[in-house]
Structure 1
Amino acid sequence: MRNYLEFEKEIKSLEEEVDGLKSPFGSEGISEVDTSKIKKTQEKINEILKNTYSNLNSWQKTLVARHEDRPRANFYINKIFSKFTVLSGDRYFGDDKSVIAGFGLINNKSVLVIGQEKGEDLNSRIERNFGMMRPEGYRKCIRLMTLANRFKIPIVTFVDTPGAYPGIGAEQRGQASAIANSIECCMNLTVPNISIIIGEGGSGGAIALASSNKVIMLENSIYSVISPEGCASILWRDPSKSLQAAEAMKMTAPDLLDLGIIDEIIKEPLGGAHRDNDAISQSVKESIINNLKNFENFNGEEIYEHRKNKFLNIGRNKGFIKSSNLSNKGLGYKETKFQIFSRHMTENKLIYLGLTLVILASIIALFN
């Protein structure tokens, strides 16, 4: 049974209509299937999907990123990688089921695969702790990333978590230090690491595995320091202002690409990744292969420097200001004076070129 979001009510009714038209058993018994009407209704559904998903606001994209039917890390791992071998345990406390890790093959090349797994149904979600990793999960990842680095094996991570688990047991076992050590491990690698945010990328729980050479986001995924509800509760003490918070936080893929925080956006099928699992898995696979190829001729030092410089450059060109489109209550971004000057010169280069030629011609005529 397909699940629908609040803004998909019209799509839901039309798809139920199509299902009814496809059934030959009507109220009057067996009847002929009206294929022309089915085709027209399906075209209408596709048109509505296209219009709806091309105009999603930040809060609606958050809902899509959390969609119950959205493909999880386990799906991508089984679909993209062959001969995948799961490795478990941190060698200190135990195994964390919220993260799947192991070695596999992609395009006949070995890679370490790490995936934050939310689960498919209620039982698996409870077992996976809804994708919220504990310290032993991060330590397991550190152990395996160190192993992969030793044997010069690239690393691919799938990020999908609302955040690291904040329970008392996790804090007692060193949650903060585990996250910090995971970030440090990622940044010190001399093999390429690629992170794909497939759903939610929440806070330090995501950054611990997304400190990579390439950070890639699916079109309708999100990546932020806090959830919109949490942000609204802190800033305005009103969770109902989640839309305003989501817009201010710049948490969607296009915003983050513009800010230089991520490197690539993978386009999703019409209506989101949950409507065509095979298509989105193929797109993710192609992106991984292409990005790994980009680092084939890099040595360890060059890979390390590439990652370091990428993160050092984040936030260097733009600063926070009051946002003009959110009643002056949110945060926006402004260009530096140099960027404004560069953009002005680029936009008016023909005018300045013409003026320069006129001035030069006048000088030549004056001396003649």
Structure 2
Amino acid sequence: MDYVGTNAIDTARLDAMVGRAIGDISAGYGGVMISLGDKLGLYKAMAGAGPLASREVAARAGCAERYVREWLGSQVAGGYVDYHAVSDTYELTPEQAMVLANEDSPVFIPNAWNVPASMWADEPKAIDAFRTGNGIPWGDHDGRLFCGVAAFYRNGYKASLVPQWLPALDGVVERLKASAIVADIGCGHGHSTVLMAQAFPNSKFRGFDSHGESVLEAKQVADRAGVAERTTFALARADNFPGTGYDLICFFDCLHDMGDPVAAAAWAAKAVAKDGTVMLVEPFANDSVGDNISPVARMYYAASTTICCAHAISEGGHHVLGAQAGEARLGDIFRKAGFSHFRRAFETPFNLVLEARL
């Protein structure tokens, strides 16, 4: 078969395309190495220690030196560890440690590799979904998805939710400091709920999620954080969670996963106090596909293909937004649900923070 046809091949463009593909394959291999380094404690063994020989890294981590030496080679090749040729030693710089060794860092990344690992594990389900048009419920995915998503978002929320996002909403911080009732819809493992509870001890927080295992984990997260007395977690959908008169209702990176986001927003309109606020946090996206060309957008579109859209379709797919919906489409959802005020309150390279009021 003639794949070239009558069109001449531009060798420079071909070389660039092959280079891009090899770079992506290399990154996939590198992700496995990062996950191993995290799970084996290799990065932590190197953090703050200065230059180390491979045998020293192995001894600190309790691993076999020959494996560690080869692993270190992969880290040097990928730019994740520095190599000192004169002394034949390896060093994890403070900046590298922020990304690879410090679990409390807002840019700690190793756990995020659980998400593509789960996507590979679920590939047969994705192939079937493409061919049949059927959905894949959130709870039917490989277990690494849940811990990967929770860990990836936890530190980002920790860095931004209380100091930046909530203050960007009109009058919300003042109400939280005084005494407010908050609903966290699609709370997952409860990290967002717990962060708010820790920051505002005079308020009460209720987390709701449709995934039972996540609800159980959220209760444990709250207990470990010492805020169990002011937080409750329950199994509920976004369009039937209990309670009314909420001062603040939050949707953290979940509305686009829902089969009927208009119904979810309409239920929030009934549940929120007349002078209350809905905070919608969604993956950052511009309104046009042509304006969403970046590594972050590529990552979000890929996850949306096999996870977000798949779950929305499993719920009936009345309005499958996807993870790159953009502000205009999200605003239209809330206007249809009865909200008269909708604005962008804050943004990061990863998130849009949107405010809705009746």
Could you tell me the TM-score, scaled by structure 1's length?
0.30
Could you tell me the TM-score, scaled by structure 2's length?
0.30
**Greater CA radius of gyration, 1 or 2?**
1
